[in-house]
Amino acid sequence: MDDTQGVSWLRDEDADLRAMLQALEEARAASADGEVPVGAVIIHPERGLIAKARNAKETLQDPTAHAEILAICQAAEALGSWRLEGCSLYSTLEPCPMCAGAILQSRIERVVFGASDSRWGAVDSKLRVLEPGLFNHDVDWRGGVLETEASELIRSFFRGIRDGTHKGSQSSSRPGPESRK
């Protein structure tokens, strides 16, 4: 980082990396739970970290239990308001249409994601739900932050399932990852 583009750029870049590292920590914990490893955190401009969550679709048997949705609910609870104005959401994976919709609904100001998702990505890959002017709320977004780490987590999770070496799930009451799609 020798090409100084200005202190503020460096500061923002640092903040994005720090927040994404926390989201990656959540993603790793999801993997240990036998969940597809996706993590999300929400940063409030004054209060800092107000939510961190990981994918819990299998654990909760809830199709809406994506990391971003759980983080948005946590943040709304922390603020006592559904309006997450000024907040930034960090997700290790590009948000899907459901999560992109929730991001718009909650008035989040900025979204940063790690890996792109060619199958479900609704920010840039499959759809562009956050396109400026499309709805009455505009969201800034940036992708590719710690992309390699985020996508490698997901790749190795599915590799583990294929090889039968995945040993994340501790609960035997749930079906093993092998039986999942």
Catalytic residue among 26, 58, 68, 94: 68
Q: Which of residues 109-148 bind Zn ion (CB under 5 A)?
A: none
Round to whole Å and give the CA distance between 44 and 161.
Answer: 36
Name the residue nearer to Zn ion (CB basis): 19 or 38.
Answer: 38
Taking residue 77's Cβ as centre, other Cβ atoms within 10 Å add up to: 12
Choose, by CB under 5 A, the member of 28, 52, 66, 166 that binds Zn ion: 66
**Exposed, middle or buried, 63 (CB in 10 Å: 0-12/13-18/19+)?**
exposed
Q: Which stretch binds Zn ion (CB under 5 A): 24-32, 79-87, 91-99, 162-170?
A: 91-99
Cα–Cα dist 114/38, whole Å: 10
Residue 14 CB, nearest approach to Zn ion (Å):
27
Helices (H), the chain: 7-32, 57-60, 67-79, 97-105, 147-163
Interface with Zn ion by CB under 5 A: which range of 47-55, 60-68, 149-157, 164-172? Answer: 60-68
**Closest Cα to residue 15, out of 58, 51, 48, 60?**
48
99 near Zn ion, rule: CB under 5 A? yes
Shortest approach of Zn ion to residue 165 CB, angstroms?
Answer: 27
* 58 is a catalytic site residue: no
- Residue 43 vs 99, nearer CB to Zn ion: 99
Partners of 39 in beta bridges = 54
Pick one of 53, 96, 103, 115: the residue that binds Zn ion (CB under 5 A).
Answer: 96
54 belongs to the binding site for Zn ion (CB under 5 A): no
Encode 28-38: b = buried (16+ Cβ within 10 Å), e = exposed: bbbbebbbbbb
Q: In the bound complex, what is the minimum distance in angstroms from residue 98's beta carbon to Zn ion?
A: 5
**Binding residue count for Zn ion, defined by CB under 5 A:** 4
Residue 95, judged by CB atoms within 10 A of its CB (0-12, 13-18, 19+), counts as buried
* Least CB distance to Zn ion at residue 7 (A): 35
Contact residues for Zn ion, defined by CB under 5 A: 66, 96, 98-99
Enzyme catalytic residues: 68
